[in-house]
Structure 1
């Protein structure tokens, strides 16, 4: 089976991890700060806070922005559930903004409509979380302009997007947001095995997230309620969590980031070949905005179901039966039973639901061989026959 995504680990990565295993520190040692510095260099951001997952990063990002009981957070329905769950962890409520039909990202037009109505109802969001699906940035300048008009904070969920660009600048520079979050799960563009990071240009938010990732503890005497008792002394200032990244994960991340440009270049080449070879089939190819430069974590196609004699599920199953490990990113969050128990229902976000009815992701990863690539293209051509 050709998977839809897969990590690329070389000997340098292995040696970096072994080096940590042979060192004095497996965690809370010297590797995390240089990993965070490498993230700053890649994203052109001022601060980075490494944690054990992107979900943890989303959680502490919400907390650092003061999200709590009585607050409302909005995100896209086409995302992994973590983009919504992070608000619920804080005691806030969640709502969604429908997607753009072409990019599948949170739609600024729908956002403006929803904000206008929410203002009339006194239910404006405290935070909006745009999701950069598949590695392509949302239209952040438009979203940022709305944040100024309607006074909300922005967390970019860039779990898919390390190495991507918006308006010629690296995603994660936080020009149009308060915080950006990346994921380093093995199927992502670079991996730390498990891990995530939050970037920000605000020193206050960075300091808050650093405490929150480690039980709310500080060793900075200037923040303490009384003079330090000695070098051993620390204080817990707030309720935090054990979300720290280990030195093993950070060392792998440092090594992986050295090949980020190589990884993204390879993904772009695969995406370009797909777009060339699949043109003319009864599918909708990924649409890229002129202001964006995707990192191509995913290559998502939509079936033109009115032009083929098979269902969405039939095409999906036939591809898998022939060894093509397609997947679907994602089931609209509002259709999950947990969220339907909150009152969400089918029909609430029609663009997202239409997308779900016809989309799936085809394999794209650095190690994808020419033969595997041709197999994906060939089986799509065989299976997607137009109606006579």
Structure 2
């Protein structure tokens, strides 16, 4: 049988390995100089004023919610088509969650449905404190429209851009926080840039950045300007908030910093793969990804929609093609069903879920591997077609 082709795979070079080894040979494995250097590089790449590294994007989302004051009695809305971390972060803060259905073309949070839901919530006095639009597959949401809907009611915005570093909206980098209070990136191995595990929160707000830095390290500060004790010793530190150990290590940051040098190359290669898929599937009964005219995707994922999804999915897996499905609508998970959510809550998301398949998409994917994927998809779709 031909070798297995995964849906995603990290690209690690000798330069990446050398960068990590340099840290391992240094005096600092964690809380050293490389994390700030990585933060500065990502901030420069995106144009954001502050970047706060964390040990995962989930941690960064939690930090973002805490910095915005999310707590019991509040509600946070997000997309149903996301990994569970997008909504779990609100639950960690003791808040309730809600979901806004997706646009049927982009699969991102629908601005029109958001506006309708906000208007209803305002009329009943139940506005969310924060909304978390998710840039599914690497394509930015229509952040201008989402921001316009939210700012009318004073609702804060966290962009979950876990899929989207290297993407652009309105000709500007995702992560610049032009239309949000905080943006979060993920550096999981299958994402655009990896640190092994890791995440980052970006913001243009000095106070939010300070709170996230404090909360990622137990709520402890050594900042002489913030210390409350009089005439403290050089050893002195103070806990000012109930924080967490969400710090990124210098080992992880070194890998990310090295990888960031290839961000443009990664995105260009992913775009090339997406273009080849588009061309190959143009005359087949396959719905290929629609792209917003004002967004340039980072192409973390390439999702097709087909009839007979289960048969096509199983046939591809049997052929050694590591397809996946991103995502099961969050509220259909047993835990969320226990919170009172039922099927039918977001019709567009559920229709998407019944048809979607994520195809292999990673920068080291060869043309030969892609041609094999294309051939197997064409075969599987043909065999699954109604007769």
Q: TM-score, normalised by structure 2?
A: 0.98
Q: 1:98 aligns with which of 81, 101, 105?
A: 101
Task: Find out whether 1:60 has 2:52 as its counterpart.
Answer: no
Q: CA deviation at 1:228?
A: 4.6
| Cα-to-partner distance string for 1:73-116 (whole Å, 9 max, x where unaligned) | 00000000000000000000000000000000000011011111
Q: CA deviation at 1:224?
A: 2.4
| Cα-to-partner distance string for 1:11-69 (whole Å, 9 max, x where unaligned) | 00000001111111111111101000110111111100000000000000000000001
Secondary structure in 2 aligned to 1:372?
helix
Q: CA deviation at 1:221?
A: 2.4
CA contact (8 A) 1:61 1:155 kept: yes
Which residue of structure 2 aligns with residue 325 of structure 1? 322
Secondary structure in 2 aligned to 1:284?
coil
C-alpha distance in structure 2 between counterparts of 1:227 and 1:244, whole Å: 28
C-alpha distance in structure 2 between counterparts of 1:2 and 1:149, whole Å: 47
Task: Find out whether 1:347 has 2:347 as its counterpart.
Answer: no
C-alpha distance in structure 2 between counterparts of 1:69 and 1:225, whole Å: 29
C-alpha distance in structure 2 between counterparts of 1:162 and 1:297, whole Å: 9
C-alpha distance in structure 1 between counterparts of 2:271 and 2:45, whole Å: 18
Q: 2:256 aligns with which of 239, 243, 253?
A: 253
C-alpha distance in structure 2 between counterparts of 1:277 and 1:314, whole Å: 20
Q: CA deviation at 1:121?
A: 1.3
219-228 or 139-148, which deviates more:
219-228
| Cα-to-partner distance string for 1:300-320 (whole Å, 9 max, x where unaligned) | 0111x2xxxxx3111100001
Backbone CA RMSD of aligned residues: 0.8
Q: 2:190 aligns with which of 187, 201, 212?
A: 187
Correspondence 1:1-388 to 2 at 5 A: 1-303=4-306, 305=307, 311-385=308-382, 386-388=385-387
| Cα-to-partner distance string for 1:224-267 (whole Å, 9 max, x where unaligned) | 22235122111100000000000000000100000000100000
The number of residues matched between the two structures is 382
C-alpha distance in structure 2 between counterparts of 1:144 and 1:185, whole Å: 28
Secondary structure in 1 aligned to 2:317?
helix
Secondary structure in 2 aligned to 1:222?
coil
Secondary structure in 1 aligned to 2:148?
helix
Listed as ranges, the gaps of 5+ residues in structure 2 are none
CA contact (8 A) 1:221 1:227 kept: no
Listed as ranges, the gaps of 5+ residues in structure 1 are 306-310
C-alpha distance in structure 2 between counterparts of 1:338 and 1:368, whole Å: 36
